[in-house]
Amino acid sequence: MRGVPRQELYTREYFRDVGRAWERFLSACPIDGSGVRNVVLESWARCRRQGVDPHRRAAPVTVDGDALARFYDQNGRLYDAIKTCMAPAVDQLAGTGMVLITSDARGTLLTADGDPPLADQMVANRIMPGACWGEGHGGTNAVGTALTLGRPVQILAQEHFCEAGKPWSCNAGLIRDPVDGRILGVVDVTGPNNMMVLHAGPLVATLVNRIQSHILMQETAERCRLIEMFHEEAGRGEAVILCDARGRVVKATSDVGAILDRLGCAIRLQPAAAIPGLSADVIDSPTLRGLPEWIRADWLTPLRVDGRCIGVLLRLPLPARAPIPPAATIAPAFRPIAEASPSLAPLLRQAEIFAAQKVPILLEGETGTGKDMLARAIHAASPMAAGPFVALNCAALPKEILASELFGHAEGAFTGARRGGAKGKLEHAHGGTLFLDEIGDMPLELQPYLLRVLEEKTVCRLGENTPRRIDVRVVAATHKPLAQQIAEGRFRADLRYRLDVASLTLPPLRDRMADIPHLMRVLLGQIEAGAGRDLRLDDAVMHVLLRHRWPGNVRELRNVLERMALLAPHGVLQWQHLPPALLDGNGADAADEAPMTLKSAEQQMVLAALQHERGNVSHAARMLGISRATLYRRLSTYGRSGRQLAGAEEPDHHVQLMRSVDA
């Protein structure tokens, strides 16, 4: 047994030798030294072990009638891509004496389009949709053998195991899923002209690439829609895994890893990892047959577009949560943030875990939520802490200057280039952290170069071809939803997936109103240090600050306090020092209101926590860092509305609770 030189594959002598070897093989005679290619002999042996009839003159039709329509639906994405991408090639087949075939991952044909004079022969040998040409059905052939071996294959005339294939020569390539690399199907060029088919490899490769690119665009758009739906459907405080229609993990909240361990599930939440049994087919089945035993049906929320299931939310049961831990238990680098915002303690603990690794981190959140401060804390808590922390705002510079600032440049690379060249921020950050703020505004033209740097750990300066090795941890931040940016063609999906190895989302201040007193204490302390005098907040102001929505988040709160400090000659920040925008939103008669006492401020915090947790007393107590019994005692002192709130407990009653809060 041996390989055969390419120029000999379509000669009469080779086909004569193969025909004789096939007859000897069927007679169980030795065929050593026959000159037949190894790939063919090994396939013949597999066919014999599977009991394939070598005298079969037509492939079996395994899908027909009404089942054919269901077969197309089951392969909907692949079939759509094939019909879109193959049409130009099919039109060019007239007069070539060739057939263009596609199949699914089992070798069942999806399409078979050929030169009209070949139609009768195609029907006779069952080269038609619904016929199965997997090795176990159609014997040695390019479609089935490529699927078996997992690589492109050419099978010529007499090399086929069954008589049905011997009039044809085939050249097949594999279509792979662009996300996880699994085989989706086959593109095959078939015809009676051995030489033309043998040289059809470039055509097959081109069609495969077109189909895979089309599927990738569909996948990207669908994943973006899934992430949007994730943010719409998933509530705060939930442990949720977002999966696509094949059960592959798209996104997960921070605490699911520990919960999966508690449930005894050995699932690694990494890109393209799949949860076995969690697919659209299982979700849409009446009995949920195939669903893993550890998943309860009521944990699942199918996500549908136009009636089609494109993914699923898996809501995991949360363990009983302890009160928010004191800042003293947080790593020193994150302690200042924890002291100012106790509700962020769980997120900071996750950030501490991420910081210990060198993986890229993506920080998401509205403007002013403190992404830059968190980035510096991650650097300080990381193995790169001894190195530099270098920041670059991707929205602050034109793309030409941004490219030079990021990658550096060689001498003479452009007009005005520095003599001797210059390092870019990536090189300056060697051994440390590069913080790319507003990554969503990075010009699309620069994104492939940043992706290459992240993957290869090398950088080339502008005007140079010499790669320079760098050791840099990249922390990126954005206030723009990257899923929307991708859908609009403004951001590369592959760069987003590379940056989003570990992501943290900073919630807006309006979703954590209980942090405001802590933030004000810390911010006033910082302002006092700069002003050189003591500052105090009048109790009447607290009511206004707790009712404001804070669209500018923590940055807006600091600016408000700094403004008030400038206008307060005696160091007491009062209602008249508030910006007009805050007073307009809370009524012009704020001065007539009774000064807010500590008890009334506490009541505002409690009500804000209950509103945030949709009336769930247990969750509100955890958010406030007190026990449920303590919260009930507080509620009982708030009059009729407080007694109504204390009379309900779980989310089933949240409508009644919210009515009480509104009252």
Judged by DSSP in three states, 335 sits in helix
**Neighbour tally for 22: CB within 10 Å:** 24
pLDDT recorded at residue 659: 34
pLDDT recorded at residue 608: 61
State how far the alpha carbon of 49 is from the alpha carbons of 21, 44, 132, 261, 459, in Å. Answer: 18, 9, 18, 43, 53
Q: Are 643 and 581 in contact (CB under 8 A)?
A: no
- Report which of 333, 428, 349 is spatially closest to residue 383, judged by C-alpha positions: 333
pLDDT recorded at residue 653: 35
Q: How far apart are CA 613 and CA 662, in angstroms?
A: 14
Tokens found for residue 544: 């206004």
Q: How far apart are CA 191 and CA 117, in angstroms?
A: 11
pLDDT recorded at residue 326: 57
Q: What is the mean pLDDT of the chain?
A: 82
The 10 Å CB-count burial string (b at 16+, else e) for 222-241 is bbbbbbebbeeebeebebbb
Residue 644: band (very low, low, confident or very high) from pLDDT cuts 50, 70, 90: very low
Q: How far apart are CA 317 and CA 299, in angstroms?
A: 8
- Report which of 386, 387, 391 is spatially closest to residue 371, judged by C-alpha positions: 391
* Strands of 433-437's sheet in order across: 389-393, 433-437, 473-478, 361-364, 502-505
- Report which of 484, 198, 472, 191 is spatially closest to residue 358, judged by C-alpha positions: 472
Residue 602: band (very low, low, confident or very high) from pLDDT cuts 50, 70, 90: low
Q: How far apart are CA 305 and CA 312, in angstroms?
A: 12
Is the Cα torsion angle 289, 295, 298, 299 positive or negative in sign?
A: negative
Q: Which range among 112-126, 502-516, 638-652 shows the weakest confidence by mean pLDDT? A: 638-652
Q: Which residue has the higher pLDDT, 447 or 294?
A: 447
- Report which of 421, 424, 427 is spatially closest to residue 387, judged by C-alpha positions: 427
- Note the pLDDT tens digit of each residue in 376-400: 999 999 999 999 999 999 988 888 8
The amino acid present at 401, given as its one-letter code, is: I
Q: Answer yes or no: is pLDDT of 145 > 50.
A: yes
* Dihedral (Cα; 324, 328, 332, 336), 10-degree rounding: 70
Q: Which range among 441-445, 453-457, 652-656 shows the weakest confidence by mean pLDDT? A: 652-656
The amino acid present at 84, given as its one-letter code, is: T
Close Cβ partners of 538 (under 8 Å, ≥ 6 residues apart):
572, 573, 574, 575, 595
Q: How far apart are CA 389 and CA 375, in angstroms?
A: 9
Q: Which residue's entry shows tokens 């703020």? A: 437
Q: How far apart are CA 612 and CA 572, in angstroms?
A: 31
The amino acid present at 625, given as its one-letter code, is: G
Strongest mean pLDDT among 370-379, 403-412, 562-571, 589-598: 370-379
- Residue 455 CB-density burial (10 A; 0-12 exposed, 13-18 middle, 19+ buried): exposed
Calculate ∠ Cα 288-292-296, nearest 5°.
Answer: 70
Q: How far apart are CA 216 and CA 497, in angstroms?
A: 13
Count the alpha carbons within 13 Å of 1 in the hemisphere toward its beta carbon: 11
Q: How far apart are CA 63 and CA 75, in angstroms?
A: 13
Q: Answer yes or no: is pLDDT of 658 > 70.
A: no
Q: Answer yes or no: is pLDDT of 165 > 50.
A: yes
Query: What is the pLDDT averaged over residues 443-449?
Result: 89
- Report which of 274, 243, 270, 269 is spatially closest to residue 256, judged by C-alpha positions: 269
Q: Answer yes or no: is pLDDT of 603 > 80.
A: no
**Neighbour tally for 129: CB within 10 Å:** 18
Query: What is the pLDDT averaged over residues 332-357?
Result: 90
Residue 207: band (very low, low, confident or very high) from pLDDT cuts 50, 70, 90: very high
pLDDT recorded at residue 521: 87
Query: What are 301's strand-pairing partners?
Result: 313
- Report which of 214, 161, 160, 144 is spatially closest to residue 192, judged by C-alpha positions: 160
- Residue 89 CB-density burial (10 A; 0-12 exposed, 13-18 middle, 19+ buried): middle
- Report which of 124, 127, 99 is spatially closest to residue 113, judged by C-alpha positions: 99
pLDDT recorded at residue 569: 80
Name the pairing type of β-strands 572-573 and 458-459.
unpaired
Q: How far apart are CA 206 and CA 475, in angstroms?
A: 37
- Note the pLDDT tens digit of each residue in 33-44: 667 888 999 999
Q: How far apart are CA 149 and CA 154, in angstroms?
A: 12
Q: Which range among 145-149, 246-250, 272-276, 490-494 shows the weakest confidence by mean pLDDT? A: 272-276
Q: Answer yes or no: is pLDDT of 492 > 70.
A: yes
Close Cβ partners of 529 (under 8 Å, ≥ 6 residues apart):
none
| Residue 304 C-alpha from the chain's centroid | 18
Q: Which residue has the higher pLDDT, 93 or 598?
A: 93
Q: Answer yes or no: is pLDDT of 662 > 50.
A: no
- Note the pLDDT tens digit of each residue in 463-486: 888 889 999 999 999 998 888 888
pLDDT recorded at residue 235: 65
Q: Which range among 300-309, 367-376, 473-482 shows the weakest confidence by mean pLDDT? A: 300-309
**Neighbour tally for 360: CB within 10 Å:** 20
Percent above pLDDT 70 for the chain: 83
Query: What is the pLDDT averaged over residues 404-433?
Result: 83
- Note the pLDDT tens digit of each residue in 284-302: 777 777 787 778 888 888 8
Q: Are 224 and 483 in contact (CB under 8 A)?
A: yes
pLDDT recorded at residue 416: 66
Tokens found for residue 341: 């915002």
Tokens found for residue 234: 């998933």
pLDDT recorded at residue 143: 96
State how far the alpha carbon of 416 is from the alpha carbons of 421, 423, 461, 466, 552, in Å. Answer: 10, 15, 15, 21, 39
Judged by DSSP in three states, 254 sits in coil
**Neighbour tally for 605: CB within 10 Å:** 21
Is the Cα torsion angle 506, 510, 511, 514 positive or negative in sign?
A: positive
